[in-house]
């Protein structure tokens, strides 16, 4: 009996460990579901080329934060995770992340890393997160509908008046065709695609350090009037008013929408899933021209006290190589190293170049209470966008959101 058990154990050891050298280590990494396209590809490529291995877990978007918190409390947190960049300040403030300042600054291409990511990855002058994946907001238009409406299909709108005029012409085609689409009950979607209209016109909704809410501005008021006017003229489908983001991409992909603010991710998604939709990509413009973009994506953060930090660094080095950046770009993320972005994108759809430029000059709001202020479905920002686009009392809604946001900021722990 004993010998049989021993044989079994030996067999298990051979099967389990025989394929890898004994000294190889495996680090565990989490990513949210948004990364489920590119992340497995880059992890596979890494595992094939390296002795050390990465074990990847994909977690649903809405659950990754509470799940990570619970795992960290129970001592079973992954060694590292790819984290929506806007959460980096609050995670760092929570004392959960490893300080990687020295390593980050030793990277020869540190200065070329996406500034938006590095900014949100920095908390009290120390670096806790480095850029991993990137997505920038852009404006997309349907070339086929533009042509039908008698517009130049190769020329997207370059200011607010053109957005409304073009949408109105497309809308006049009638039937199921509508001029414009946005998710009217989604805070995350609108911080991504609506605030760039304000930024490009010289306004902002938060002060630079995130300590003041600055909603009471003519630029915000102007952008609201643009959306309200299009809603009032019936250029936006009814469903937009209650869309919490489920239709953010699907509405345009259906082929019946003239213009919609969206993200770089739409390029990959449209090309692979909706090859029949002929679309153009341009920047989100300001009132009288100019442009801006929300630079979003994931920061790579390391759990405090992990023993596998060497493997994690090896993986990130690989992701930053030209090979890694090309894999990421091919499967739906923009490059995060600006010095080699052009090389990584050179064989891909040329429309990526617009998005890459948007990313490089994009902006990202900074706040340790971003979730409470902006993304929460019941937060002040989400409530305000719904009220100001569809409600009657615009001034009251703005004032209410301004007061609520300021009080959330003031009450935040570890400001």
Partner 1 sequence: MASITVASAPARTRTRTGVGRRQWIGLLYVAPAVALVVVFFVIPLGMTAWMSLNNWPLMGEHSFVGLDNYAAILHDTRFWNALKFTFYYTVVVTIAIFAVAFPLAIFIERPRPLTNLYRTAFFMPAVVGFASASLLWSWLLNVDSGLFSPAAFDLGLTEKKVNLLATFQPAFWSIIAMVVWKVAGFTMIILMTGLQSIPQDLQEAAVIDGAGPFARFRLITLPLMRRTLALALILSVAGSILAFDQFYIILRGGPRNQTLTAVYWIFNQSFVSFKLGYGAALSMVLLVILVALSLIQLWLLRKPEGLD
Report the interface residues with partner 1, using CB under 8 A: 65-66, 68-70, 72-73, 90-91, 93-96, 185, 237-239, 241-242, 244, 369, 371-372, 376-379, 383, 386-387, 390-391, 413
Q: In a 3-state reduction of DSSP, which class is residue 213?
A: strand
Residue 71 CB, shortest distance to partner 1, in Å, is: 10
The DSSP output letter for 35 is: G
19: which 2 tokens? 């394929």
Nearest approach, Cβ of 55 to partner 1 (angstroms)?
Answer: 22
Q: Of the two residues 196 and 258, which places its CB atom closer to partner 1 in the complex?
A: 258
Burial class (CB in 10 A: 0-12, 13-18, 19+), 400: middle
Q: Which two tokens stand for residue 390?
A: 């569809």
Closer to partner 1 by Cβ: residue 348 or 394: 394
State the nearest-atom distance from the C-beta of 144 to partner 1, in Å: 21
Residue 79 or 387 having the CB closest to partner 1: 387
User: Between residues 8 and 73, which has the closer beta carbon with respect to partner 1?
Assistant: 73
Upper half-sphere CA count for residue 380 (Cβ side, 13 Å): 21
Query: Considering the complex, what minimum distance in angstroms separates the CB of residue 94 from partner 1?
Result: 3
- Of 90 and 193, which has the nearer Cβ to partner 1? 90
Identify the sign of the CA torsion 160, 165, 170, 172. positive
Query: 8 or 250: whose CB is closer to partner 1?
Result: 250
In whole angstroms, how far apart are CA 149 and each of 152, 178, 256, 305?
A: 9, 12, 12, 60
Q: Which lies closer to partner 1 via its Cβ, residue 94 or residue 290?
A: 94
Shortest distance (Å) from residue 267 CB to partner 1: 25
End-to-end CA distance of the chain: 63
CB of 206 to partner 1, least distance (A): 18
Cβ of residue 95: shortest distance to partner 1, in angstroms? Answer: 4
Question: Residue 10 to residues 5, 20, 154, 380: CA-CA distances in angstroms?
Answer: 8, 15, 67, 60
Q: Which residue, chain included where needed, has tokens 């394929």? A: 19
The alpha carbon dihedral of 113, 114, 116, 117 has a sign of: negative
Q: The tokens 């051979």 sit on which residue? A: 14
- In the bound state with partner 1, the residue whose beta carbon lies nearer, of 90 and 142, is 90
Listed in order, strand segments (DSSP E) in 85-215 are 122-123, 126-127, 129-142, 178-180
Closest separation in Å from C-beta 157 to partner 1: 25
Between CA 388 and CA 383 the distance in angstroms is 9
Q: Which is nearer to partner 1, 294 or 370 (CB)?
A: 370
Shortest spacing between CB 75 and partner 1, in angstroms? 13
The rounded distance, in Å, linking the Cα atoms of 368 and 213 is 13
Residue 125: count of CB within 10 angstroms of its CB: 6
- For residues 279 and 275, what is the distance between their CA atoms, to the nearest angstrom? 10
């Amino acid at each position: 009996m004993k010998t049989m058990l021993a044989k079994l154990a030996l067999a298990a050891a051979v099967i389990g460990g025989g394929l890898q050298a004994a000294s190889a280590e495996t680090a565990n990494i989490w990513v949210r579901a948004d990364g489920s396209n590119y992340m497995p590809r880059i992890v596979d490529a890494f595992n094939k080329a390296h002795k050390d291995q990465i074990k990847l877990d994909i977690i649903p978007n809405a659950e990754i934060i509470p799940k990570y918190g619970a795992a960290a409390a129970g001592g079973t947190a992954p060694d590292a995770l790819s984290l929506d960049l806007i959460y980096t300040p609050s995670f760092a403030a929570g004392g959960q992340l490893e300080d990687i300042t020295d390593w980050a600054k030793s990277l020869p291409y540190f200065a070329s890393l996406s500034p938006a990511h590095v900014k949100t990855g920095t908390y009290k002058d120390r670096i806790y997160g480095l850029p991993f994946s990137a997505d920038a907001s852009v404006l997309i238009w349907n070339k086929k509908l533009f042509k039908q409406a008698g517009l130049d299909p190769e020329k997207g709108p370059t200011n607010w008046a053109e957005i409304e005029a073009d949408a109105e012409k497309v809308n006049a085609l009638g039937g199921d065709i509508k001029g414009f689409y946005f998710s009217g009950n989604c805070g995350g979607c609108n911080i991504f695609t609506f605030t760039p209209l304000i930024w490009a016109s010289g306004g902002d909704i938060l002060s630079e350090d995130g300590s003041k809410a600055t909603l009471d501005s003519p630029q915000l008021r102007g952008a609201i009037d643009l959306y309200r006017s299009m809603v009032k003229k019936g250029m936006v489908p009814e469903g937009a008013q209650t869309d919490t983001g489920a239709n953010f991409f699907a509405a345009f992909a259906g082929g019946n929408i003239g213009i919609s603010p969206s993200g770089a991710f739409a390029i990959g998604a449209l090309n692979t899933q909706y090859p029949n939709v002929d679309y153009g990509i341009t920047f989100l413009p300001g009132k009288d021209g100019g442009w801006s973009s929300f630079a979003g994506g994931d920061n790579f953060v390391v759990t405090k006290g992990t023993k596998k930090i060497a493997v994690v660094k090896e993986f990130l080095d690989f992701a930053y190589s030209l090979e890694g950046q090309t894999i990421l770009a091919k499967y739906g993320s923009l490059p995060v190293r600006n010095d080699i972005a052009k090389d990584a994108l050179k064989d891909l759809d040329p429309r990526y170049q617009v998005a890459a430029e948007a990313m490089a000059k994009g902006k990202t709001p900074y706040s340790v209470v971003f979730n409470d202020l902006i993304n929460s479905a019941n937060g002040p920002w989400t409530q305000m966008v719904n009220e100001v686009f569809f409600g009657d009392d615009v001034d009251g809604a703005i004032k209410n959101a301004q007061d609520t946001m300021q009080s959330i900021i003031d009450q935040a722990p570890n400001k």
